[in-house]
């Protein structure tokens, strides 16, 4: 038992390092008074959103807590407490990451001024690292402690409560944050840039603070909760598969169930150590080039992980195949990332840009076609991955491949979170009037991490699909289903119902953005009309009202889709029983994975096609092609930043809810 305590202890150390990095960033100078003022407004807006979001979610958390406490068949209070633990860890990770990001953004901007690119890079990256390390550490601490108490075959079901907590908070955070960021963005851009003709991030625009807050609540807090959810989901799924495995095709799990159950957490702990060393290595490589610094951090993390895991398999007497599967999982993640990179930055975006010459309609048709096409190759890669993982290490292999992709989340997420911080720094540079040169540095920083981030995205997509399948397998085993037979019409009904849920949620998310943006547009127009001298910079805009409007809208709009996601598996499970629920999960996974790729990639491609034109192609900025590309980009925004990212969480959340319900469904069927 003693050795397991090392898991939360490693987590605790990681957490401490996250704090040290936070205080390092916080100790950096924040720049001019104006900058501090702007940064405080962004910080306040973001924190207000989080606080109000959590005060809405507290009711949801209490309700689910009570439902689990009184509704389950066994392990009632344990599962309910685990749910609470998962939810609190997720909230805490989001809160910490947001604090760090809103501290780092203004300091990155000032660092660019006083120290140039290298210092700005370090500030932004360490800011992102706080989030990355917090996510990994909180996961290890929380799940590790529950595992110590409930890490045997019978009680492991308690852990699914923890995952359910993490997943449900993540879905709300992604939806709320995604609706916030896009409606603020659309509103500020449409009235500011298009109607009033003032530049982006112009301080006269009443929506500009809300827009910058949106980047934080969407890209930082939303993404943090998302990745935390993935991390926990993959771990819990793999642990559950090990716990419920009676025999596995090529692994002799039966003999040492305990080792196989603990192994995912061991991998995660090694990954956290590797991440810390990767982040530290960045200080060495930053002397070569900024790109080298970002990439090397990721590579160092990965290599150390593999070395560590290799020895761990030898020490814990785990099949060497498990090690190979992790390597394969990483290769697959890279392949998916490169494919996403191709579709959102390669030839297809030049095709979209070219078709923009004929107007918005052809831009959109081409972009939709690119998005639809972009589904095939990554799904094929995932399919090959499933086959390899399963051949080498059974169902356990599919789960551990996902764990392998997510183990170095401490460093990969640092790279992910670094982008929005640099982006935000750019906004502050503009608003505070630091000048063109500083803005160029922050813009360049923003672009730097793109390829690394694309690989990270591949890991997120790949791991989501594999985790969803693992959770599905874990559910099937927990529900004692010997088969889930598509020949059974109830399973077919499940497949169809599961198939449409992602469409419904995507639709709700997109409509929500539309409604929230409308309110924003109205408010900004009113302010431009009624605040005398605003456009001449003689009066200040009322940014708080804009922030308040979009906060209220986003929080209101996130509730219904979130509830649909959680209630659907419950309704299907009780109405049509466990096997049909299995069909539903499969249908949701198929639809969800495809829609996620379609939406994310077409959105990304439209975005970059616009940038490609802005770089001077096909007439450049202001041309008819550019106008058409702006339409495409605007349509792509809710695709790639609201609806798309919700899909991955959605399918895992539905699986996790089913996993929690599984023993109860078995109990009721008796």
User: 363-402: which residues touch its own copies (CB under 8 A)?
Assistant: 364-366, 368-373, 375-376, 379-380, 382-383, 386-387, 390, 395, 398
Q: Is 594 in the site for its own copies (CB under 8 A)?
A: yes
Q: Which is nearer to its own copies, 140 or 586 (CB)?
A: 586
Give the position of tokens 């529950």.
146
Contact pattern for its own copies over residues 156 through 195, marking x by CB under 8 A: ----------------------------------x-----
Residue 237 Cβ vs its own copies, minimum distance, rounded to whole Å: 14
Per CB under 8 A, the list member of 134, 179, 481, 625 interacting with its own copies is 481
Q: Is 335 in the site for its own copies (CB under 8 A)?
A: no
Per CB under 8 A, the list member of 168, 473, 478, 646 interacting with its own copies is 473
Of 217-225, 228-236, 295-303, 355-363: span binding its own copies (CB under 8 A)? 355-363
Q: Which is nearer to its own copies, 444 or 519 (CB)?
A: 519
- CA torsion through residues 368, 370, 371, 373, sign: positive
DSSP string, 369-380: HHHHHTTHHHHH
Q: Is 629 in the site for its own copies (CB under 8 A)?
A: no
Q: Please list, in sequence order, all residues whose beta carbon lies within 8 angstroms of the beta carbon of residue 610, skipping any fewer than 6 positions away.
A: 626, 629, 630, 632, 633
Residue 403 Cβ vs its own copies, minimum distance, rounded to whole Å: 17
Separation between Cα atoms, residue 602 and residue 358, nearest integer Å: 19
Q: Is 493 in the site for its own copies (CB under 8 A)?
A: yes
Q: Please list, in sequence order, all residues whose beta carbon lies within 8 angstroms of the beta carbon of residue 331, skipping any fewer than 6 positions away.
A: none
Residues in 97-126 that interact with its own copies by CB under 8 A: none
Under 8 Å between Cβ of 136 and 202? no
Q: Please list, in sequence order, all residues whose beta carbon lies within 8 angstroms of the beta carbon of residue 266, skipping any fewer than 6 positions away.
A: 7, 312, 316
Give the position of tokens 């547009």.
521
Q: Is 511 in the site for its own copies (CB under 8 A)?
A: yes
Give the position of tokens 């078995």.
666
Residue 232 Cβ vs its own copies, minimum distance, rounded to whole Å: 22
Separation between Cα atoms, residue 275 and residue 132, nearest integer Å: 9
Q: Is 200 in the site for its own copies (CB under 8 A)?
A: no
Q: Is 582 in the site for its own copies (CB under 8 A)?
A: yes
DSSP letter at 356 equals G
For the beta carbon of residue 246, count every other beta carbon within 10 angstroms. 8
Per CB under 8 A, the list member of 586, 659, 660, 661 interacting with its own copies is 586
Separation between Cα atoms, residue 448 and residue 478, nearest integer Å: 45
Which of these, 502, 670, 648, lies nearest to 578 by C-alpha position?
670
Residues in 266-285 that interact with its own copies by CB under 8 A: none
Contact pattern for its own copies over residues 215 through 244, marking x by CB under 8 A: ------------------------------
Per CB under 8 A, the list member of 254, 447, 504, 567 interacting with its own copies is 504
Of 20-28, 207-215, 314-322, 628-636: span binding its own copies (CB under 8 A)? 628-636
Give the position of tokens 């798309």.
644
Q: Which is nearer to its own copies, 185 or 226 (CB)?
A: 185
Residues binding its own copies: what is the number (CB under 8 A)? 76
DSSP letter at 205 equals -
Q: Which is nearer to its own copies, 443 or 518 (CB)?
A: 518
Q: Is 359 in the site for its own copies (CB under 8 A)?
A: yes
Give the position of tokens 């002397």.
287
Q: Which two tokens stand for residue 550?
A: 């979009």
Residues in 521-540 that interact with its own copies by CB under 8 A: 521
Which of these, 318, 447, 339, lies nearest to 385 by C-alpha position?
339
């Amino acid at each position: 038992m003693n050795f397991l305590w090392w898991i939360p202890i490693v987590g605790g150390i990681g957490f401490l390092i996250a704090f040290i990095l936070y205080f390092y960033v916080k100790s950096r100078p924040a720049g001019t008074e104006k900058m501090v003022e702007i940064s405080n407004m962004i910080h306040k807006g973001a924190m207000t959103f989080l606080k109000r979001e959590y005060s809405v979610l507290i009711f949801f958390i209490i309700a689910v807590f009570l439902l689990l406490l009184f509704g389950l068949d066994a392990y009632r209070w344990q599962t309910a407490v685990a749910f609470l633990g998962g939810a609190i860890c997720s909230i805490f990770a989001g809160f910490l990451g947001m604090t760090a990001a809103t501290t780092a953004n203004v300091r990155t901007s000032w660092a660019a001024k006083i120290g140039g690119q290298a210092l700005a890079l370090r500030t932004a990256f360490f800011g992102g690292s706080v989030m990355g390390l917090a996510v990994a550490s909180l996961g290890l601490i929380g799940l590790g402690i529950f595992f110590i108490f409930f890490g045997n075959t019978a009680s492991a079901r308690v852990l699914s409560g923890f995952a359910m907590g993490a997943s449900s908070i993540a879905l709300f955070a992604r939806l709320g944050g995604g609706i916030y960021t896009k409606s603020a963005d659309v509103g500020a851009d449409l009235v500011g840039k298009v109607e009033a003709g003032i530049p982006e991030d112009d301080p006269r625009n009443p929506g500009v603070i809300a827009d910058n807050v949106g980047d934080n609540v969407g890209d930082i807090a939303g993404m943090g909760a998302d990745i935390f959810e993935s991390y926990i989901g993959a771990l819990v799924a793999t642990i559950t598969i090990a716990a419920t495995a009676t025999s596995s095709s090529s692994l002799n799990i039966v003999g040492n169930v305990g080792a196989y159950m603990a192994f995912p957490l061991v991998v995660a702990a090694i990954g956290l150590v590797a991440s810390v060393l990767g982040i530290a290595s960045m200080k060495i490589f930053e002397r070569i080039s900024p790109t080298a610094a970002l990439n090397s951090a990721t590579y160092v993390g990965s290599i150390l992980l593999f070395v560590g895991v290799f020895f761990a398999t030898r020490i814990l007497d785990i099949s060497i195949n498990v090690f190979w599967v992790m390597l394969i999982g990483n290769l697959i993640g890279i392949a998916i990332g490169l494919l996403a990179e191709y579709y959102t930055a390669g030839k297809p975006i030049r095709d979209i840009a070219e078709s923009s010459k004929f107007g918005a309609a052809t831009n959109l048709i081409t972009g939709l076609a690119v998005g639809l096409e972009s589904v095939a190759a990554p799904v094929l890669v995932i399919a090959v991955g499933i086959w390899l993982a399963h051949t080498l290490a059974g169902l356990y292999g599919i789960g551990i491949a996902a764990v392998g992709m997510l183990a170095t989340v401490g460093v990969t997420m640092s790279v992910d979170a670094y982008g929005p911080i640099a982006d935000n720094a750019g906004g502050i540079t503009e608003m505070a009037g630091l000048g063109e040169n500083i803005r160029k540095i922050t813009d360049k920083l923003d672009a730097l991490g793109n390829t690394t981030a694309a690989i990270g995205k591949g890991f997120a997509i790949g791991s989501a699909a594999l985790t969803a399948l693992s959770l599905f397998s874990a559910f099937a085993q927990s529900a004692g289903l010997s088969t889930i037979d598509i020949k059974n019409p109830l399973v077919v009904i499940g497949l169809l119902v599961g198939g449409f849920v992602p469409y419904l949620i995507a639709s709700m998310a997109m409509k929500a953005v539309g409604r929230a943006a409308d309110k924003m547009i109205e408010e900004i127009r009113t302010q431009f009309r009624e605040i005398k001298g605003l456009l001449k910079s003689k009066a200040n805009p009322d940014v708080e009202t804009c922030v308040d409007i979009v906060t209220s809208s986003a929080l209101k709009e996130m509730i219904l889709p979130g509830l649909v996601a959680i209630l659907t598996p419950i309704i299907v499970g009780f109405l049509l029983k466990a096997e049909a629920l299995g069909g539903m999960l499969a249908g949701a996974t198929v639809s969800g994975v495809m829609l996620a790729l379609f939406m994310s990639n077409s959105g990304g491609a439209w975005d970059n096609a616009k940038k490609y034109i802005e770089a001077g192609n096909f007439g450049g900025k202001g041309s008819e092609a550019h106008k058409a590309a702006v339409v495409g980009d605007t349509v792509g925004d809710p695709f790639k930043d609201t609806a798309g990212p919700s899909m991955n969480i959605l399918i895992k959340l539905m699986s996790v809810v089913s996993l929690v319900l599984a023993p109860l469904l078995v109990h009721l069927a008796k």
